[in-house]
Structure 1
């Protein structure tokens, strides 16, 4: 009798402690937005501390939204068996606006159903408590998002004993052939190009366009090294945006700069060089405008002769008028 009371007291103490820990954590303000972190194709790392995937992952998880772009996530977990992916768990995870919680309902390959409830907290933590249909606790699962493409899952029982753990690394398919202009992640590229390119490759991007080429390098990497870095992450270095102001420059200076620039871009393996001009709005007459068009035509010919395309990236200023004529 005394023993059973002690056990009940200990269990109650553990639940109270867990509740205090959760209360100490601050819930994220936008649960629905947080849920989008889970979307994608993920593979299980061989070990929980691995930073990259092995050659033959044993676990795959595909998470797709079914309502809008972020809600009603359909989750399917597969295990590799005899060189085939076999479904071992199916789950529907949703944000419930009434309770401001994340709700999950699922079934495993043993035909055991479960219901989970939880929330996202600060510091990229997501906690779900799973029960069977008799209301009995199965596990508490902590999802620790290390980055946009890495999440560690750890499950514990009611006594806080670890049941299992796995690290998922996102590796979205590249079948949509989507590229990204790296100005979209300008600060991240300047801070850590290698880490940023790794994340972009895992997200499923196929191509990158740089911003910008400076002093013969891309983000302080040589053309050949940056090309190698992009390709290591499963992408192609497709294009580059660069700038050179021809004002007050001699033809000799212009040709010298562009010859070096084109040579560097050939080493980088790009298909095209693009540019734009923020001084267009300051043009006062057609004669000045023609100086720019002659300059760009000349650069275009130099690129063409070298086997590259030359692209002009316009803004709204190119649609202004001068002497009754639109620039474009």
Structure 2
């Protein structure tokens, strides 16, 4: 029996299988509001066969966006737009599919161009905004110098995380994921590379982790028990002077103690000059260490592409779930084909049932090789 296609509980929420559509920024929103692009994208992902579909990184305040095109959940208009899209995705989803949303704050990586515009810091004629960070250190050469976070910022942004989570609950999401990785604000505060403060907000790991953990605690307290809460965390900064896997284990343990239900273990993003040894499954060892060291439900992500690879990760116990992003963009029916390859059953929409292998002799020719 395929372990990839067995049910799994992330706290109060039961997933029909261990496959997750990772949050993927589309950089196509209108002042934080999702639109018809997101409608087609998420309706497609809802039919992919994944047990959990996670909406892209969603800013908790307007100044917390990465680009002008990033999704937000900081206004009533954002909330209405997101509900329209989620309701449509649910209407076509495979049975049992659950939906999550990743909420976060870009910090010093905000006020930037969309990737296809170059991805650099916004120019003066492109409506840039002032960014904030643990320390006044730019993300890279020729980037904006962020303003150092102060006590008022911490209160405002913490409240914004809670407000966005409450909006997500009203919209109807099953799970909320805090973005604590990839160099964005919460990761920026936790990493000694980007947090060089000597006050109570910097220095020791306990000091650097305190504010992000307080946000996790406040979100968990504000969200009903029936909604799962988790976080994407960094497995390591890929630098000797940054966060290491033992820090990820410690963070995951703290999050579990606060009542969070899962973590997704990624890595990197703290500085563009850091070199990462990318290869298939390169982040799986981080997830394995976090799972073993903390006991929290753990998701692996990063260069996971084939059904056999995903099955081995779960069956070996390295992680409880796997997340794919580009795999689903390339093949929106990845879950259907994985089930077929691994001998599992998925309930397909009756309108599309004729594509099942037993009904269509040409299936083998049409499948990706």
TM-score bucket of the superposed structures, by smaller chain: 0.3 to 0.5
Higher relative contact order, structure no. (Cα contacts within 8 Å, ≥ 6 residues apart): 2
Name the TM-score, length of structure 1 as normaliser. 0.33
More strand by share: 1
Larger radius of gyration: 1
More helix by share: 2
